[in-house]
Structure 1
Amino acid sequence: MAELLYRIGRFAARRHWAVIGAWLAVLAVTVVTYLSFAGALSSNITLPDTPTTRVSQQLEDDFEGTGGGNGSIVAQTTDGSAFTAAQQREVLALLDRLEEVDSVSDVSDPFATQDDLDASAERVADGRRQLNDGLGQLRDAQAQIDGGRQLLEDQRAQARRDGTLAAIRPQLEDAEQQLDDGQAEVDRQQAKVEEQAPRLEQGATLSRLSSGFRTVSEDGSAAVANVTFDVSTNEVTTEVKTEIEDLVADAGIDGVDLYPSQDIAQTVPSILGPGEVAGVVIAAIVLFVMLGTVLGAALPLVTALLGVGVASLASLSFSGMVEFVSVTPVLGVMLGLAVGIDYSLFIINRHRRQLQQGADLHESIGLANGTSGNAVVFAGVTVIVALLALNITGVGFLGLMGTVGAVAVLVAILMAVTLTPAILSLVGPRVLRRRERERLAAGELTHDAAITDRDRPMSNTRAWTVLGLGVVALLVVAAPATQMRLGLPDGSTQPPDSAAYQAYDVQAEKLGEGSNGPLLVVADLPGAIAEDDVLAEQATVGEQIGDVWNVEAVVPIGVSEDRSALAFQVVPEGSPSSESTAELVQNLRTLTPTTASGGEATLGVAGNASAGIDISDKLADVLPTYLVLVVGLSLLILVLVFRSILVPITATLGFVLSLLAAFGGITAIFQIGFLGDLFGVHTPGPVLSFLPIIATGILFGLAMDYQLFLVSGMREAYAHGAPARVAVQHGLRAGRSVVTAAAIIMISVFAGFIFSHDATIKPIGFGLAFGVLLDAFVVRMLLIPAAMHLLGEAAWWLPRWLDRILPDVDVEGAKLERSHPVHDGPHDEPHDEPVDGPVAERPGAHVAR
């Protein structure tokens, strides 16, 4: 591979205009394919074959008018007073216009709905009063009849004593007949009351259960209209949502504010905003400080931006055929910018050092491409493998995110090993500072590979101290991760000035937190029921649902066509992302209510809150498997690269520590709210459900990048005869400047996304930036050198049988360096005597690979 990359580098250097033109042509092709085939991005995250999707499908198939997606329009008077009649008319006129939008099947009238709810409750109350009055009248009538019968018996007994019974018998019989007729009427009325009482009680039960559900606030100042679509929420196009938003924005109702809910107001996040641009600017400053020339600093930025353009446009060209979640291209941009700048920087840095050692321009470009470029390819492939492994999770949108990210990294690699050499050839010696060019012209060459007194190893005490304190610090930072909850962003996490947040806030304040995330519950009955039994079953099952903890209201919304299932809307007391709502979903799914006929019903739950819980549970289940896969892959790759057992183990343990600490930081800020104001987190909530698994894949690849570029220098020095502990310091000194710059650049690029207005992008940007910060500066530059110092010679131990079967990957291109030397080599130059022993390659020393 190193020899091939050497040839590619020399070819690109000699044919720089052809290479540059070819990449520009590729960019033009991707622009054309994007404009021709790109489709709309989805802002909804869904998973097939989850409990929620199965219930949603059942609603769509068996319940007329309940299977489509929905959102809401929230209206609020600006002065907090009740809606006037004129304002209500204007709001209803707007709702009528919304109903004419494509894909909208119905828009509810919140005022009429609330009137119906109030009227229904009043009718139930009136019915119960009438029933009670009727029962009172029947009791009075029965008492009169019973008194009449007693009077007749008394008269009959008196007549018998007086001997006048025969004379008054006809009168007594007439009176008795009248009492019998009265009793019959009372019995008929009693039977009628007994027949009506259960239905009235069932109605009263349903009225009581639904009393917590409102479409207009009690003070009359806020109203919520439900917008029902004829397709599922994730199938509603951006054009439809935009049209609804525009109609709402242009309504202009005097004294009324209107807000579409998050299901409608969600928009695709911008790929490059002010924060992202600031990150690129910081990267440019770091490049200029390190390289000292404007041309040198601009080169990695140009290649990275061009690579991002090619990768993003190429990926989005398939969005017309495959559903893209809106965050997917943003992840590709994050990775493309970060690794694109870093990979180009590694090659440029190697080229600059070789030029200062007296190498010919084209030869130096080829060698830099074959050595650092070889390491870039290997490191990049590691990142690609980690990202593509996301496809094994079985989560479609996550696998697609990994694939798009892998494409961005692949393009960054290709850019680094082709376009970077071409531009280096075009720039020529101007990639060096003027002072460096002057020294080179005067014949002053540098040989920075020699072992010197600066490579004196640290003391064992210092190594133990650094290792102990570092591990403890990472564990402390990781502690909040033990409380991590996973979820999806809701309206409360949106920017405070957004329509989605305003809609959420009004509903929470005026109608209760649970109104922002009602659940849809389907009760499958033991069998089909008669039409006359529907109300009884709704009341019986609904009452048991209402008895579950944290239920605010239960509203019957439908019966299946074959009357074998009932549908309810359940309003929780807590917000959609609260722990109590998650617990409610689980409790409802395990509840088996008894039906009116004595059987047992089974419950299924759907709705936005339920969908978020299902997605989070699914991702939480696959995370351990993915983590084991990535850790195992890490060990195998590092054993192959460093031909050691203990180096891969320490590297992998360091990665796990930095990953857990990154999870702890994410949990502390975005879930607990620590330093929330600093990072724009105004409403803490669950951690983005797919963030841990995405961060695991990306941070693994980047951690291996830094491990490779630092430890390979240590191994090279050890292979050339330096004592193990001296080699640790020498490799650290040789690689830390470029790794420091690369890490700062990557952190800057990722951190730029922290200030995105999108609640999905913000935690991803922070998690990656914080993870790189910990891994590069704590693990790779502190813990790994300390651990390797303490291991000493044992760090490079490898069983002989394993050494024989492992292929020689030559990641650093050492063989290429020997066949294409820049000069006679640093070890043939005068150098200071090393601290711990001779530098000359000793018998039995490892061959540099």
Structure 2
Amino acid sequence: MLGRLGRFSYRRRWSVVAVWLLALSGAVLLAVKSEGPVNTRATMPGIESQQAFDLIAERFPGAAADGASATLVFVAPPGQALTSAANKKVIDTALAAVSGGPQVARVVPPSPGGSISAGGSTGFASVTYRVPSPEVTEESRTALADAVGRARAAGLTAEMSGSALKTGTRMSPMELAGVAIAAVVLLMTFGSMVAAGLPLLTAIIGVAVSFLGVWAAAGPLEMAITSGMLALMLGLAVGIDYAMFVVSRFREERHSGDAEQAAGRAVGTAGSAVAFAGTTVVIALAGLSVVGIPSLAKMGLAAAGAVVVAVLVALTLVPALLGFAPNRVLARAQRRGGARTPARRSVARPWMRLVLRRPLVITLAGAALLAAIAVPALFLRLGTPGDASRPVTETQRRAYDLRAAAFGPGFNGPLTVVVDARGAADPKAAVATVADSIRATGGVVSVSKASFNPQGDTAVLTAVPSSGPTDARTETLVETLRAARPGVAAAAGVSYEITGTTALDIDMARKTRSALVPYVSIVIGLAVLLLLVVFRSVWVPVKAALGFLLSLFAALGVIVAVFQWGWAAGVLGVEQSGPVMSLMPILLVGIVFGLAMDYEVFLVSRMREAHAHGRPAQDAIVTGFAQSSKVVVAAAVIMIAVFGGFAAADEPLIKMVGLGLACAVFFDAFVVRLTLVPAVLQLLGERAWWLPGRLDRWLPHVDVEGGSLSEEQSGPEPAHALSAR
């Protein structure tokens, strides 16, 4: 079927190209008319913090809980106080530029005893908007910047932070550098400008369609910019690789057939592997929907859509473009003689001789190396890095530091206590009992005055911890407060919940941590089942799954060492170490699984093909490795370059995912697939391809090796066969 699709795309190249250009034009039009990604905080149904937020929205309907906010921090010159008449006038004048805005609901200036520090040198003003952060206009943001500018001009130090400032993620020059490196690798691999440019061109078209599609759907589906960036990152990487596999197989098939037949065989063989590998990535990413985190599900589906587009491009647009230059994609020597080009000196066969000579030593050494790198993963701590993780060049980071220095680190991440006093005889006294209990808890600096709803049956308190939002002591404090709650609630005759940004991050981290092991188990089970069908072997899937685990945990080890422990943090632009973002590990599992299966399929399918054609097990390993290793190495280098470029992104999640994927691809391609796989297959010998007879009869047959193409082409030559151009 895929062979016929490849020949059809080759013959009807103009029609295929026209369809993709129409798809691109439609995506552009939809994206232009859409509102684009939104800035929404991740929600997670079923956790206490989320339930408390929902209770606030129900009992305080006029509180605009989803409205954007901003904080303006002011610091008086040395030796002065903000309460002086001159400085107070400066602040009032600055805030006047904000308070008159049409979107502003309330402006609370700095006041002694609350938002001005004990020494009087530092204070902050709170700005609340009537609209959520995606709807904050540029005019409102400009007003904030003007207020800060006026305070600075008058001699004060002024910075700002808050959700109203968020404007999205910017592209980094390093991301473009990754594409440039991919172009160089393709040129070195193929030795032809056309062959090198074709995968880049098709990948850019595919990722443009998918990224613009995500952009158009982001508003109605309430997706954040991270969904689009993930789709861009993954779509670009797999798009280049999938197209390269088809082009490489087309060049091989031109030795023994005309261009149209070569296109059909390339799509029928390499395209089969592309379709299978892409399916594994899509299933793993779509499987993120079952974790129970809506924002993670949206990111997974957006990235899965980008992979689907990349597969369709490789199966249709690539053979169509090959039809325009079937000879130009060949190496120069092959174009001159039309025969097989002499084999260049390669490290593939010497490397195979080394691996196959000492397979047990190689296996133990490779596994030990990855296990050692994975050790930091045992100390993984999840959370949500906030403004503290931003560069010091950004005003949000400077505002964070100023507040932490003046009021303590916990002031940047206060806890919100929602007290439901409907069943209490004296709600105010009951709320006071709760406040006294929290105030007496070690690790709590202060507890605010209670704010009641109009009915007087629900109150909100603010508790300031002594530790920062991402500090492990803050998580311990939340656990302590919740552990003491049953006794306090029973004595006061109320119920209460602890929420706030910090508590929400802690609850999300816990739920993600609990979902990680089940999700990994599902992914591993899926990997074993799919590879069992493709390779019709018991040991190949088991080996692939174990290799995937080694690559995954080694990559997590690097992430923990860099972002949590601070190793080489300065080189990667990590300003402050802290917990790993809650969504990152489970997102990494879904993506790394698909990429690991990519290399497994592309490498082992050629070994399986050689063994199916009668070669002994060891010869099949050498033959398959020689045929596929060069392309797998090039694909891995391209992915490392693309993902490594995204490690320079501003968004912390994208930075972590970019570095994690770059490391995972390196470990999986070079250590696991190109080293451990042939070593383990050598140890297993003929047993590597063993499958029980009953299981063989039950499993469906998948022709990844393209054997049916040989049978089909052994018949009469089709009348429409075109001669090579």
Aligned to 2:29: 32
SS in 1 for 2:569: coil
For residue 323 of structure 1, the aligned residue among 222, 225, 240 is: 222
Using the alignment, how far apart are the partners of 2:223 and 2:290 within structure 1? Answer: 18
Aligned to 1:41: 38
| 8 Å contact kept, 1:673–1:683 | yes
Using the alignment, how far apart are the partners of 2:136 and 2:514 within structure 1? Answer: 31
Q: Are the structure 2 counterparts of residues 700 and 102 from structure 1 closer, same or farther at C-alpha, using a change threshold of 3 Å?
A: farther
For residue 391 of structure 2, the aligned residue among 488, 491, 495 is: 495
Aligned to 1:264: 164
Q: Which amino acid aligns with 2:223?
A: F
SS in 1 for 2:326: helix
Using the alignment, how far apart are the partners of 2:343 and 2:713 within structure 1? Answer: 16
Task: Note if 1:430 corresponds to 2:341.
Answer: no
Using the alignment, how far apart are the partners of 1:598 and 1:276 within structure 2? Answer: 58
Using the alignment, how far apart are the partners of 1:20 and 1:713 within structure 2? Answer: 30
Task: Note if 1:478 corresponds to 2:369.
Answer: no
The residue correspondences of 1:239-258 to structure 2 (distance < 5 A) are: 242-243=141-142, 245-248=144-147, 250-251=149-150, 253-258=153-158
Give 1:560 shift: 3.9
Aligned to 1:547: 440
SS in 2 for 1:783: helix
Give 1:11 shift: 2.2
| 8 Å contact kept, 2:419–2:431 | no
| 8 Å contact kept, 1:43–1:267 | no
Give 1:279 shift: 0.6
With normalisation by structure 1, the TM-score equals 0.79
Q: Are the structure 2 counterparts of residues 747 and 81 from structure 1 closer, same or farther at C-alpha, using a change threshold of 3 Å?
A: farther
For residue 376 of structure 1, the aligned residue among 255, 265, 274 is: 274
For residue 462 of structure 2, the aligned residue among 563, 569, 577 is: 569
Aligned to 1:528: 424
Using the alignment, how far apart are the partners of 1:717 and 1:336 within structure 2? Answer: 31
Using the alignment, how far apart are the partners of 2:35 and 2:491 within structure 1? Answer: 56
Using the alignment, how far apart are the partners of 1:568 and 1:240 within structure 2? Answer: 33
Using the alignment, how far apart are the partners of 1:18 and 1:405 within structure 2? Answer: 27
Give 1:613 shift: 1.3
Using the alignment, how far apart are the partners of 1:595 and 1:402 within structure 2? Answer: 42
For residue 709 of structure 1, the aligned residue among 568, 586, 602 is: 602
Task: Note if 1:53 corresponds to 2:50.
Answer: yes
Using the alignment, how far apart are the partners of 1:798 and 1:523 within structure 2? Answer: 62
Using the alignment, how far apart are the partners of 1:610 and 1:308 within structure 2? Answer: 37
SS in 2 for 1:552: strand
Aligned to 1:160: none
Using the alignment, how far apart are the partners of 1:20 and 1:80 within structure 2? Answer: 71
Q: Are the structure 2 counterparts of residues 79 and 295 from structure 1 closer, same or farther at C-alpha, using a change threshold of 3 Å?
A: farther
Aligned to 2:299: 401
Q: Which amino acid aligns with 1:72?
A: T
Give 1:599 shift: 3.7
| 8 Å contact kept, 1:714–1:727 | yes
Give 1:25 shift: 1.4
Q: Which amino acid aligns with 2:34?
A: F
Give 1:522 shift: 2.1
| 8 Å contact kept, 2:72–2:148 | no
Task: Note if 1:222 corresponds to 2:115.
Answer: no
Residue deviations 1:617-667 (CA, integer Å, cap 9, x gap): 222222222111111100000000000001100110110111111111111
Using the alignment, how far apart are the partners of 2:349 and 2:560 within structure 1? Answer: 44
Aligned to 1:785: 678
Aligned to 1:108: 108
Q: Which amino acid aligns with 1:46?
A: T
Aligned to 1:837: none
For residue 190 of structure 2, the aligned residue among 281, 287, 291 is: 291
Give 1:539 shift: 4.5
Q: Which amino acid aligns with 2:418?
A: V
Using the alignment, how far apart are the partners of 1:706 and 1:597 within structure 2? Answer: 59
SS in 2 for 1:106: strand
Q: Are the structure 2 counterparts of residues 627 and 102 from structure 1 closer, same or farther at C-alpha, using a change threshold of 3 Å?
A: farther
| 8 Å contact kept, 2:104–2:127 | yes
Task: Note if 1:652 corresponds to 2:545.
Answer: yes
Aligned to 1:192: none
Residue deviations 1:273-330 (CA, integer Å, cap 9, x gap): 2111011011111011111122211111111111111111112212231101220000
Q: Are the structure 2 counterparts of residues 293 and 445 from structure 1 closer, same or farther at C-alpha, using a change threshold of 3 Å?
A: closer
For residue 509 of structure 1, the aligned residue among 394, 405, 408 is: 405
SS in 2 for 1:318: helix
For residue 632 of structure 1, the aligned residue among 503, 525, 537 is: 525
The residue correspondences of 1:110-509 to structure 2 (distance < 5 A) are: 110=110, 113-114=111-112, 117=113, 214-230=114-130, 237=136, 242-243=141-142, 245-248=144-147, 250-251=149-150, 253-270=153-170, 272-355=171-254, 357-440=255-338, 443=339, 462-509=358-405
| 8 Å contact kept, 2:39–2:166 | no
| 8 Å contact kept, 2:291–2:519 | yes
Question: Which residues of structure 2 form unaligned runs of 5+?
Answer: 716-725
Q: Are the structure 2 counterparts of residues 235 and 549 from structure 1 closer, same or farther at C-alpha, using a change threshold of 3 Å?
A: farther
| 8 Å contact kept, 1:643–1:798 | yes
Aligned to 1:73: 72
Larger Rg over CA atoms: 1
Residue deviations 1:544-595 (CA, integer Å, cap 9, x gap): 2122221111112312444444321100111111111112122222223767
Using the alignment, how far apart are the partners of 2:208 and 2:585 within structure 1? Answer: 27
| 8 Å contact kept, 1:646–1:797 | yes
Residue deviations 1:314-371 (CA, integer Å, cap 9, x gap): 122122311012200000001110000000000011111222x242122211211111
Q: Are the structure 2 counterparts of residues 425 and 371 from structure 1 closer, same or farther at C-alpha, using a change threshold of 3 Å?
A: same
| 8 Å contact kept, 2:148–2:160 | no
Using the alignment, how far apart are the partners of 2:349 and 2:400 within structure 1? Answer: 64
SS in 2 for 1:72: strand
SS in 1 for 2:675: helix
| 8 Å contact kept, 1:96–1:107 | no
Using the alignment, how far apart are the partners of 1:503 and 1:108 within structure 2? Answer: 17
| 8 Å contact kept, 2:431–2:450 | no
Give 1:63 shift: 4.5
| 8 Å contact kept, 2:38–2:225 | yes
Give 1:753 shift: 0.5
For residue 765 of structure 1, the aligned residue among 648, 658, 673 is: 658
More deviation in 284-293 or 543-552? 543-552
Residue deviations 1:96-126 (CA, integer Å, cap 9, x gap): 332333443222111xx21xx3xxxxxxxxx
| 8 Å contact kept, 1:73–1:258 | yes
Give 1:410 shift: 0.7
Aligned to 2:20: 23
Residue deviations 1:121-166 (CA, integer Å, cap 9, x gap): xxxxxxxxxxxxxxxxxxxxxxxxxxxxxxxxxxxxxxxxxxxxxx
Using the alignment, how far apart are the partners of 1:467 and 1:19 within structure 2? Answer: 46
Counting matched residue pairs gives 710
Q: Are the structure 2 counterparts of residues 650 and 241 from structure 1 closer, same or farther at C-alpha, using a change threshold of 3 Å?
A: farther
| 8 Å contact kept, 1:42–1:238 | no
| 8 Å contact kept, 1:262–1:490 | no
Q: Are the structure 2 counterparts of residues 63 and 467 from structure 1 closer, same or farther at C-alpha, using a change threshold of 3 Å?
A: same
SS in 1 for 2:217: coil
Q: Which amino acid aligns with 1:95?
A: L
Residue deviations 1:789-844 (CA, integer Å, cap 9, x gap): 1111111110001111211110121221343379xxxxxxxxxxxxxxxxxxxxxx
Q: Which amino acid aligns with 2:175?
A: E
Aligned to 2:93: 93
Aligned to 1:608: 501
Q: CA RMSD in A?
A: 2.7
With normalisation by structure 2, the TM-score equals 0.92
| 8 Å contact kept, 1:370–1:813 | yes
Q: Which amino acid aligns with 1:508?
A: A
SS in 1 for 2:448: strand
Using the alignment, how far apart are the partners of 1:551 and 1:632 within structure 2? Answer: 46
| 8 Å contact kept, 1:528–1:563 | no
Q: Which amino acid aligns with 2:176?
A: V
Q: Are the structure 2 counterparts of residues 78 and 436 from structure 1 closer, same or farther at C-alpha, using a change threshold of 3 Å?
A: farther
